[in-house]
Amino acid sequence: MVDHYDKQVVLITGCSTGGIGHALARAFAAQNCLVVATARSLASISDLENDPRFFLQELDVLSDQIVHRVVSNVLEKFGRIDVVVNNAGVQCIGPLAEVPLSSIERTFNTNVFGSLRLIQAVVPHMISRKKGKIVNVGSVTALGPGPWAGAYTSSKAALHALTDTLRLELQPFGIEVITVVPGAVKSNIGNSAIGSYSQMPEWKLYKQFEEAIRARAYFSQGQKATRAEEFAQKTVNHVLKKNPPAWFSAGQYSTIMAIMYHLPLSIKDFILRRAMKC
């Protein structure tokens, strides 16, 4: 076991280059943390390989066995896990009436059950130390669910609800739980969304909306989208506070969507129909 008692050990999922997780890994490392950067493929985080601030692990959040193995590896190396950031997630674009159920299941398996799988693996350790922080990365889309991304949005809404419950249930054990809610942040999510979208069946009922549906994949990646590095730095500053906020949101559209959440449904629907050409 290596002694690094002056530094916090932070485990982050979904750290592939070009994504929010990668920016978070670098931002935590810049704040003197030891970062366990994970991804489904080590090749996607190879730029962190020779930096002693990072401990790289291959992690598929869909596998119980792999999740438990990674947690064991980290505890063996550092003796503790101070912060867990559930960032791994997948998009799913298409109208809910026609998206294959297998695609919706994969979205929930990754975005919801993947997060819960890691939480259940790490919580016994955190309870034994009576301290720890769990950070779940949600989405502002859950505050104003619109057309064409219903599977993704509902999975993030489920994660928000789970996080609220966990915050209450884990508080007696000294564990702090934080919902981080990105707005539109520059990342590779647009490319991965269009990649999975290209494997969708041809729409029968929604053929006339094809252009609008495809455009939804890139909606968060416009010119004014917040830089991932800027979002990550703000997030890390909040997470590492002695008493971190239970909810933190940043990025383009974060303020607008917070307002949208409180609007009457008829107004919210009108705005979202216009924005998404539905």
Give the residues across from 182 on adjacent strands: 250
Write down the catalytic residue from 7, 77, 131, 156. Answer: 156
Q: What are phi and psi of 20, to 5 degrees?
A: -60, -40
Residues in contact with 162: Cβ distance below 8 Å, sequence separation at least 6, in sequence order: 112, 115, 116, 136
Is residue 54 domain-resident?
yes
pLDDT on residue 187: 85
pLDDT on residue 188: 80
Is residue 4 domain-resident?
no
Whether the predicted pLDDT of 231 surpasses 70: yes
Contact 126, 81 (CB under 8 A): yes
**Which range marks the domain in which residue 79 is found?**
9-276
Give the residues across from 84 on adjacent strands: 11, 134
Write down the catalytic residue from 7, 77, 130, 152. Answer: 152
Is residue 30 domain-resident?
yes
Contact 81, 33 (CB under 8 A): no
Q: What are phi and psi of 143, to 5 degrees?
A: -85, -20
CA-to-CA distance for 26 and 35, rounded, in angstroms?
A: 8
pLDDT on residue 133: 98
CA-to-CA distance for 246 and 235, rounded, in angstroms?
A: 12
Is residue 29 domain-resident?
yes
DSSP reduced 3-state for 196: helix
pLDDT on residue 136: 98
Whether the predicted pLDDT of 3 surpasses 80: no
Q: What are phi and psi of 256, to 5 degrees?
A: -60, -45
Is residue 1 domain-resident?
no
Whether the predicted pLDDT of 134 surpasses 90: yes
Whether the predicted pLDDT of 9 surpasses 50: yes
Whether the predicted pLDDT of 174 surpasses 70: yes
Closest by CA to 82, choosing from 247, 233, 236, 228, is 236
Is residue 262 domain-resident?
yes
Mean pLDDT, the chain, whole residue set? 94
Is residue 79 domain-resident?
yes
Residues in contact with 223: Cβ distance below 8 Å, sequence separation at least 6, in sequence order: none
The model's pTM is 0.94
Could you tell me the pLDDT band of residue 189, with boundaries at 50, 70 and 90? confident
Q: What is the DSSP letter of 138?
A: -
pLDDT on residue 194: 80
| Residue recorded with tokens 């090749």 | 43
- Kindly report the CATH number assigned to the domain that includes residue 110: 3.40.50.720
Residue type, 73: N
Is residue 2 domain-resident?
no
Could you tell me the pLDDT band of residue 190, with boundaries at 50, 70 and 90? low
Number of domains within the chain? 1
Q: Is 156 a catalytic residue?
A: yes
Q: Is 207 a catalytic residue?
A: no
